[in-house]
């Protein structure tokens, strides 16, 4: 029997198709509503994250807080493309990357902002924020990339592509200003141009103890500055005051203008617009022995170090010791070092793992990141310092977080450390270059040291040259000789420990250079480069726990030799 399909009546078919279509549309509509609700919910979470971030000056100083909020916006525009919420998330993400760049000084952050704004302008050109995104592109090229010609083009696009947008009046003003900058227009209000040339004071940070305070003033660009010290005025009830005038600068009302410190050394720090072109930063002082001021680059910031009473110099004044004959066998069994018994001062060692967070440091051919290797090494060194030297070991960072270079030294000073050891891997364009070397703070004497300092400081060779001109003043109270001796012992211990296990370990010696992370340290401070991550052989070694453990043992052995050498000096040997 041949089976044939029995035709269904046309009316029944039509009815069935209609029902299916209605059900499909209802389902699609419900899915769309659910999707929209999900996008809005995620967007609200991202907005709350941003609100909390902007409310806290402390949170804004750490990269991971910015990246957490950025990630929340990213989930919106990647998870719900084409929606209004996606456009809002892209715009907010661009703002956060721009804000982060103000703290990090990284060009890659501003490039991400540019990418997001471009995406918004191209994919969501009918959204209300499209003209604002185009305007932000002009701002970025003018303020951050210092490219007035490209900025002019970006602002012109606002007028041409978004004639009815609310950003058009502002864009028109910027075009007028840029025509002056580019020499295309002669007539413009003079005070308007001058105002735009002033440099913004972005933030004021501080770390403090009763005997030491570091204040850092973050600026949008370089400025000239001058310091003044005023005597105490009992009649007016005013304490001693140190003030620093920043020329051609202005301060936002959003910045906390008065920062109470009250640590016995400083009462408070204040900042205000002294006149139209000058911002004055004032430190009210209760007790000060000396101070020093210097600046760092990329981003430009001014560092003010204030010291209270002089600390007891290492190896000269002993702490109170038990009477002769009162030391017990238990003391010896517990491994209490002679250095500690004599009170020579090496009780606390700060171990600084280079880079971190959004700053990966040097990267090997296989993707190995300096920040990860150095954190692992720092933890090994800390463990051995505690176990073998019976000293306290403090890490500047114990996780993958970003720390400004000036904060690392401040941590050491605030903690009243006796030694500061900063750990790094080296890099070179010539992949055959290899070896280990140890640095102390001084003027760089060779090309490699200059290049390394520029890379570790995340700045240019020109800025390193400028820094070397002021190093003589900065190092008047720095323990250069002690740092050099510490570097020699650590380099010797490191090379010896590695050569016991590995062939071709090149001793590149003790060298000197202008490293930001060592500037202002109140104790012997060194920077150790434990290998070249760009060299194939050493890149593989740096991935090895055995190599890192050997390196840690060598560094700690060097510290031990330094302590014993101080004991001999103390005893007159």
Provide the pLDDT for residue 450. Answer: 77
User: Does 148 have pLDDT greater than 90?
Assistant: no
User: Does 331 have pLDDT greater than 50?
Assistant: no
CA dihedral sign, ordered 22, 27, 31, 33: positive
User: Does 161 have pLDDT greater than 60?
Assistant: yes
Q: How far apart are CA 503 and CA 495, in angstroms?
A: 11
What homologous superfamily does CATH list for 43-194?
Answer: Tetratricopeptide repeat domain (1.25.40.10)
Q: Is there a shared CATH topology between the 198-307 domain and the 334-571 domain? A: no
Q: Specify the CATH architecture of the domain 334-571.
A: 3-Layer(aba) Sandwich (3.40)
* Residue 315 confidence class, pLDDT cut points 50, 70, 90: very low
Provide the pLDDT for residue 323. Answer: 35
In tens, the pLDDT along 364-393 reads: 988 999 999 999 999 999 999 999 999 999
Q: How far apart are CA 424 and CA 97, in angstroms?
A: 27
At 469 the three-state DSSP class reads: helix
At 337 the three-state DSSP class reads: coil
3-state secondary structure 533-563: CCCHHHHHHHCCHHHHHHHHHHHHHHHHHHH
In tens, the pLDDT along 250-278 reads: 998 777 666 776 666 777 788 889 898 99
CATH number belonging to domain 198-307: 2.60.40.3500
Strand residues in 26-110 grouped as ranges (E): none
Global confidence as pTM: 0.59
Q: How far apart are CA 319 and CA 468, in angstroms?
A: 37
* Residue 234 confidence class, pLDDT cut points 50, 70, 90: confident
What's the distance, CA 267 to chain centroid?
27
Q: How far apart are CA 136 and CA 77, in angstroms?
A: 19
Q: Which residue has the higher pLDDT, 557 or 57?
A: 557
Give 359's DSSP letter: B
Which are the contacts of 548, defined by CB distance < 8 A and separation ≥ 6?
373, 376, 377, 380, 542
List the domain boundaries for the chain. 43-194, 198-307, 334-571
Provide the pLDDT for residue 24. Answer: 55
User: Does 334 have pLDDT greater than 60?
Assistant: no
Indicate the angle between helix axes 84-104 and 130-139, nearest 10 degrees. Answer: 20
Q: How far apart are CA 262 and CA 210, in angstroms?
A: 9
* Residue 179 confidence class, pLDDT cut points 50, 70, 90: confident
* Residue 68 confidence class, pLDDT cut points 50, 70, 90: very high
> What is the pLDDT averaged over residues 304-314?
66
Q: How far apart are CA 381 and CA 556, in angstroms?
A: 7
> What is the pLDDT averaged over residues 445-462?
79
């Amino acid at each position: 029997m041949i089976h044939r399909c029995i035709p269904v009546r046309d009316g029944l078919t039509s009815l069935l198709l209609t029902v299916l279509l209605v059900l499909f549309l209802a389902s699609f509509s419900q899915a769309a509503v659910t999707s929209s609700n999900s996008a809005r919910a995620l967007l609200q979470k991202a907005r709350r994250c941003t609100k909390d971030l902007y409310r806290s000056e402390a949170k804004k100083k750490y990269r991971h807080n910015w990246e957490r909020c950025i990630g929340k916006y990213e989930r919106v525009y990647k998870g719900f493309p084409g929606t209004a919420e996606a456009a809002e998330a892209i715009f907010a993400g661009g703002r956060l990357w721009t804000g982060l760049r103000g703290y990090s000084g990284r060009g890659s952050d501003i490039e991400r902002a540019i990418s997001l704004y471009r995406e918004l302008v191209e994919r969501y050109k009918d959204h209300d924020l499209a003209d604002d995104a185009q305007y932000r592109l002009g701002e970025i090229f003018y303020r951050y990339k210092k490219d007035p010609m490209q900025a002019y083009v970006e602002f012109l696009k606002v007028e041409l592509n978004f004639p009815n947008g609310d950003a058009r009046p502002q864009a028109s003003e910027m075009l007028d200003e840029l025509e002056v900058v580019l020499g295309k227009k002669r007539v413009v209000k003079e005070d308007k141009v001058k105002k735009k040339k002033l440099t913004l004071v972005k933030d004021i940070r501080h770390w403090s103890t009763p005997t030491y305070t570091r204040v850092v003033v973050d600026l949008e660009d370089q400025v000239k500055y001058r310091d003044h010290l005023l005597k105490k005025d009992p009649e007016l009830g005013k304490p001693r005051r140190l003030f620093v005038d920043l020329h051609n600068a202005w301060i936002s009302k959003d910045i906390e203008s008065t920062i109470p410190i009250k640590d016995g050394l400083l009462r408070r720090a204040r900042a205000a617009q002294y006149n139209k072109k000058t911002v004055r930063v004032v430190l009210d002082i209760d007790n000060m022995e000396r101070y020093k001021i210097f600046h760092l680059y990329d981003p430009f910031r001014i560092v003010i170090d204030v010291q209270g009473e002089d600390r007891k110099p290492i190896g000269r004044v002993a702490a109170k010791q038990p009477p002769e004959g009162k030391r017990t066998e238990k003391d010896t069994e517990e491994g209490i070092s002679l250095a500690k018994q004599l009170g020579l001062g090496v009780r606390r060692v700060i171990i600084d793992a280079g880079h971190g967070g959004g700053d990966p440091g040097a990267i090997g051919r296989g993707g190995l990141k300096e920040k990860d290797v150095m954190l692992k090494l720092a933890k090994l060194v800390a463990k051995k310092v505690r176990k073998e030297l019976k000293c306290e070991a403090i890490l500047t960072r114990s996780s993958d977080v970003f720390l400004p270079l000036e904060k690392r030294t401040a941590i050491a000073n605030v903690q009243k450390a006796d030694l500061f050891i900063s750990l790094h891997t080296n890099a070179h364009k010539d992949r055959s270059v290899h070896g280990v070397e140890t640095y102390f703070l001084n003027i760089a004497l060779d090309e490699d040291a200059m290049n390394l300092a520029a890379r570790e400081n995340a700045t240019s060779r020109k800025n390193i040259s400028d820094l070397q001109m002021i190093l003589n003043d900065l190092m008047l109270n720095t323990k250069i000789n002690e740092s050099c001796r510490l570097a020699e012992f650590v380099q010797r211990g490191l090379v010896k420990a590695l050569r016991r296990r590995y062939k071709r370990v090149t001793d590149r010696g003790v060298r000197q250079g202008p490293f930001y992370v060592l500037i202002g340290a109140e104790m012997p401070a060194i920077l150790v480069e434990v290998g070249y991550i760009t060299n194939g052989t050493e890149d593989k070694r740096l991935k090895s726990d055995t190599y890192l453990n050997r390196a840690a043992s060598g560094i700690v052995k060097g510290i031990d030799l330094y302590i014993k050498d101080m004991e001999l000096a103390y005893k007159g040997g």
